[in-house]
Structure 1
Amino acid sequence: MTNYHFRKAEISETSRIWTILQQAILRRKEDGSNQWQDGYPNPEVVQKDIEKGEGYVLVEGKSIIGYCAVLVNDEPEYEKIEGKWLTNDDFVVFHRVAIAEKYLGKGFAKMMIKYIEDFALKNNIVSVKADTNYDNIAMLKIFEKSGYTLCGEVHFRGSPRKAYEKVLPKAL
């Protein structure tokens, strides 16, 4: 049985994480998406995520196979939603989801989102919010399959993005 876990990233892992993100940036471009084609994210963004304790990795054994940033109540753009969130309480938000090239199409992004949902519940938070470009078909499908509700539109760096929320069942 392969051992997967989700943990905070370490500064020493920045270059491996950046390699995974570069693959994702190229995939977005090849898919015809405008997402991540403007110099963001970049190595400095990853380093700041990790320094703030917000960078997380999905690990198989000792290999990093995925990356994302996980924040609590920290997305100012979400206050300006064109639409309406399902809740107005504490929330977990995730950004910069990327899976290593050779692990694509095997459900690892969904696995990472499940770990993020578990993180929310462990912190007594039942709302998880996220957004993506209108043309990021892979992520839109993941949100749909993972039970996220389209709540409206938010804007980042001048681009409209679909904003999603999932209200988690409270832990027993």
Structure 2
Amino acid sequence: MNYIVRKAKIADTANIWKILQQAIQRRKNDGSNQWQDGYPNIETVETDIQKGFGYVLEIHGQIAAYAAIIFDIEHAYEIIEGNWLSSGEYVVIHRVAVSDEFAGKGIATKFFKNIEELAKSESVFSIKVDTNFDNLPMLSILDKLGYTYCGEVYFRGAARKAFEKILS
């Protein structure tokens, strides 16, 4: 499959928001309460792009997936009910979403592998991520890729499962 991962541009906002809306609906259809409270929204996407956090995975020029990749401290991760594997620099992954057209084809897994390579290219060897306890597709991806469950963190008043992977 011919694909690239690149930083999102403002011109990508509408396509990214459409993909996030599809993912929000999938979460709802799965019976999850994740992303059912007005977050993420289009302003979240615009902020991600403005701050340089937004990335897309393109297949044959079409945006297939989106994620926020943050090379900075995630304040919500400063307090964890449990223990992180490391205490140094890390990359945070938020808002992973795959378009309906590409869902179920391993795109999110490919995206994560590319994010891992991006982190290593920046000499950062830890990735931290969180997800809802009932987001079974994401929990499966994290398990398959060797992420370690570290405990719980809190976002907007709700507990989230927190994972870390040390890259080699």
TM range (shorter): over 0.9
Q: CA deviation at 1:34?
A: 0.6
1:156 aligns with 2:155: yes
In structure 2, runs of 5+ residues without a counterpart are none
Measured in 2, the distance between the counterparts of 1:103 and 1:64 equals 10
1:87-102 → structure 2 map (5 Å cutoff) = 87-102=86-101
Name the aligned partner's letter for residue 80 of structure 1.
I
Supply the RMSD in Å over aligned alpha carbons: 0.6
* Pairing of 1:47-58 with structure 2 (within 5 A): 47-58=46-57
Alpha-carbon shift at residue 102 of structure 1 (Å): 1.4
Q: TM-score, normalised by structure 1?
A: 0.96
Question: What code does the residue aligned with 2:109 have?
Answer: K
Residue 126 of structure 1 corresponds to which residue in structure 2? 125
Tell me the distance in 2 between the aligned counterparts of 1:119 and 1:66: 16
Residue in 2 aligned with 1:137?
136
Q: Corresponding residue for 1:46?
A: 45
Q: How is 1:24-103 mapped onto 2 (pairs within 5 angstroms)?
A: 24-103=23-102
Deviation of residue 73 (structure 1)? 2.5
**TM-score, normalized by length of structure 2?**
0.99
Segments ≥4 residues shifted beyond 2 Å = none
Give the superposition deviation at 1:113. Answer: 0.4
Aligned residue number for residue 4 of structure 1? 3
Inter-partner Cα distance in structure 1 for 2:164 and 2:58: 25
Residue 117 of structure 1 corresponds to 116
> What do residues 103-142 of structure 1 show as CA deviations (whole Å, max 9, x unaligned)?
1111100000011101110010110000000010110000
CA distance in 2, matches of 1:73, 1:22: 26
Gaps of 5+ in 1: none
> What is the deviation of 1:160?
0.5
* Identical-residue share of aligned pairs (%): 55
Q: Separation in 2 of the partners of 1:129 and 1:73?
A: 11
- The amino acid across from 2:115 in the alignment is I
In 1, the alpha carbon distance for the partners of 2:67 and 2:19 equals 10
Q: CA deviation at 1:158?
A: 1.0
One-letter amino acid matched to 2:62: S
> What SS does structure 1 have at the residue aligned with 2:78?
helix
* Separation in 1, partners of 2:107, 2:27: 17
Does 1:21 find its partner at 2:20?
yes
> How big is the shift at 1:74?
2.4
